[in-house]
Amino acid sequence: MLEMEKVNKTRYIEDEMPPHVYEILHEFLLGVNDKDLDLRQPHMRPSMANIYVFFLFIYAILIVVGVLINLAVLLHIFRYKLYQEPTYAFMVNGSISDILKCIVVLPISLYVLLIQNWVLGELLCSFLPMVQDIPLHSSTLTFVLMAWDRLRYVRNPGKSRMPAFVCAVGTWLTALCLVLPYPIYVTYVDIGKHVPSFEGVGICIVNLSDDMQEYMRGIFIITYAGPLATISYLYVKVSRELETQENYIALMMEVRNREGRHRVDSHSTATDCRASRAGSDGTSQYSRSSFRDHFRNNRDNLQQLYDSELDVVKERRTQKYLVATVTAYGILLCPLMVLRLARLALIETYDNTGHFDITYAILVWVGFLPTCSTPGLYFLWQMNRPTKERLRGYFRFSNRKLRQSCEAVVTSTNDGASNRRSMPARHSSYLDPRRQDHDQDSNSNTSSIQELT
C-alpha cells in the first residue's frame, strides 16, 4: 500500500513538473539546454570536446612511463637487496605510492576532468577525494622521514637506523587520518529519488563553507608547505654535518702524515746512534722489523681513515640526488597545490569554466610528473661515472667532443693490451651499486696515495 502511494506520488510530481524544469536540470548538469540527452550516460565537457584526445594522449604516456619506471626501481632494489638500507626502503614506499597514483588516481582524475555529469554513484562521490590524496600525502611524508633518518645517520653512523618499513606503514595511516574529514564536506544528491525518469542521475557537490576553507588551508600547510620547509631544514643540517666531517677527515689526514714523517726521521736518527754504539741489534726496538710493524700499523690506520673519507664522499653524492628529487617534487606539485587553495576563493561561472577546466587538467598532469622524475633521478644516482659520461656523449655534438673521441680512438689503438684487460668490466651492469662503489673507492684511493707521496 505504501509503495503504491509512493509510486503515485512520484508520477504526480513528474506529470506536474513544468517542461522548463527539465531544461534547467539539463543545463545545470551538462551545460547544454537539450532535454533529449540521456543524463544517465557520461557526456564530455564542452570545453574538452575538441582537445580531449590530447589529454588522453599525455595522460596515457604519463601512466605507462610512470608504472614501468617505478617497477624498474622496485626490481633494481630487490635484485641487489638494497632494501636493507632505510634510504632504499623509503624509496620502495615511494615507488609503491607512485604506482598507485598512475594506476588508480590518474585514470579516475582524468575521467572526472573530462566528463561533465556525475555517473559514478554516491560511494565514489564521497571517497574519491580520499583516494586521490592518500598516495600524495604518503609520498610527502616519506620524503620527510627519509631526510630525518639521514640526519640521524650522518650525525651518528653507529646509531641504529629508523625502522623504514614500520615508518612506511605509518605514512599510509597518517595520510588516511588526514583525509578522513573529506566525506563530511561532500554531498551527493540523488535526483532519481524525486524524479523516476532521472534514475541513476546524481549531483556530487563540495560544500565550500567557511570551515571547509579552513580545513583546506590546514591541509595545504600540513601536507605541503610544512613538510617541504622541514625537509629543507633537515637537508641543510645534513649538508653542514657532512662538511664538518669532511674538514675533520682532511685535518686528521694532515696530522697523521706529519706524525708519520716525524717518526720516520726520529727512527732513522735513533738507529744511526744505536748502530754507532752497539752495532745493529735485530732484537732492538729500533730494528728494521719493528719499523715494518710500525709502518704496517700506520698503514692500517690510514686505511681506516680512507674508508671514512669514502663514506663522506658517498653520502655527499647521495645528498645531492635526494635534494634534487625533493626539489623536483616540490616545484612540480606547487602549481596544483596553489590552485587547489585558490579554488576556494575563485567563483566558477559558465564564462570561465572552460579555462578553469583546461588549466586544472594541465596542472594535475604536471603535479603527477614526479611519478617519473623521482625514479629517473634514482637511476641517475645509481649509474656509475663511465655510464654517465657515455650518456652525456650522446647529447654532445660539438667539435671539442669530436676531437676527444678521435683522441680516444687513437689511444685505444696504441694501448690495445690495456683495453683488453678492461673489457670484462664492461659486461657488468651499469646500475650495479657494487661497481659504482668500487669506482668511487678506486678514485678516492688514488687521490689519497697521491697526497701521501
Any bridge partners for residue 269, and if so which? none
> DSSP assignment, residue 449?
H
How far apart (Å, rounded) are the C-alpha atoms in residues 100 and 133?
11
How far apart (Å, rounded) are the C-alpha atoms in residues 334 and 51?
25
pLDDT at 171 (0 to 100): 96
pLDDT at 47 (0 to 100): 85
pLDDT at 63 (0 to 100): 97
Residue 11 pLDDT class (50, 70, 90 cuts): very low
Alpha-carbon distances of 167 from 87, 146, 224, 233, rounded to whole Å: 12, 10, 19, 20
What amino acid occupies position 350?
Answer: Y
Length of the chain measured in residues: 453
- For residue 442, pLDDT over 60 is answered with no
Max mean pLDDT among 29-43, 151-165, 220-234, 378-392 falls in: 220-234
Burial class (CB in 10 A: 0-12, 13-18, 19+), 71: middle
Query: Cell 617519473 sits at which residue?
Result: 372
How far apart (Å, rounded) are the C-alpha atoms in residues 385 and 378?
14
Burial class (CB in 10 A: 0-12, 13-18, 19+), 321: middle
Contact by Cβ (8 Å): 82, 436:
no
pLDDT at 28 (0 to 100): 56
Any bridge partners for residue 190, and if so which? 202
Of residues 134 and 300, the one with the higher pLDDT is 134
Lowest mean pLDDT among 179-188, 319-328, 356-365, 416-425: 416-425
What is the mean pLDDT of the segment spanning 134-139? 96
Residue 249 pLDDT class (50, 70, 90 cuts): low
Percent of the chain clearing pLDDT 70 (strictly above): 62
How far apart (Å, rounded) are the C-alpha atoms in residues 69 and 374?
10
- For residue 241, pLDDT over 80 is answered with yes
Lowest mean pLDDT among 87-96, 106-115, 148-157, 188-197: 188-197
Of residues 432 and 331, the one with the higher pLDDT is 331
Residue 23 pLDDT class (50, 70, 90 cuts): low
pLDDT at 64 (0 to 100): 97
How far apart (Å, rounded) are the C-alpha atoms in residues 183 and 177?
12
Alpha-carbon distances of 190 from 13, 19, 184, 193, 198, rounded to whole Å: 16, 20, 17, 6, 9
What is the mean pLDDT of the segment spanning 227-234? 96
Q: Average pLDDT of the chain?
A: 76
First CA to last CA distance, the chain: 104
What would the pLDDT profile of 293-336 be if each residue is shown by its tens digit? 554 555 555 555 444 444 788 889 999 999 999 999 999 999 99
pLDDT at 258 (0 to 100): 66
How far apart (Å, rounded) are the C-alpha atoms in residues 169 and 93?
9
Lowest mean pLDDT among 30-34, 108-112, 152-156, 425-429: 425-429
Residue 33 pLDDT class (50, 70, 90 cuts): low
Cell of 375: 625514479
pLDDT at 252 (0 to 100): 67
Residue 432 pLDDT class (50, 70, 90 cuts): low
| 304 CB neighbour count, 10 Å cutoff | 10
How far apart (Å, rounded) are the C-alpha atoms in residues 48 and 28?
17
Q: What is the DSSP string of 286-310?
A: TSHHHHHHHHHHHHHHHHHHHHHHH
pLDDT at 253 (0 to 100): 65
- For residue 120, pLDDT over 80 is answered with yes
- For residue 271, pLDDT over 70 is answered with no
What is the mean pLDDT of the segment spanning 47-64? 94
Of residues 260 and 452, the one with the higher pLDDT is 260
What would the pLDDT profile of 383-429 be if each residue is shown by its tens digit? 888 887 887 777 664 445 545 555 554 455 555 545 444 444 444 45
Query: Cell 662503489 sits at which residue?
Result: 437
> Nearest-CA neighbor of 143 among 237, 231, 240?
231
Contact by Cβ (8 Å): 98, 159:
no
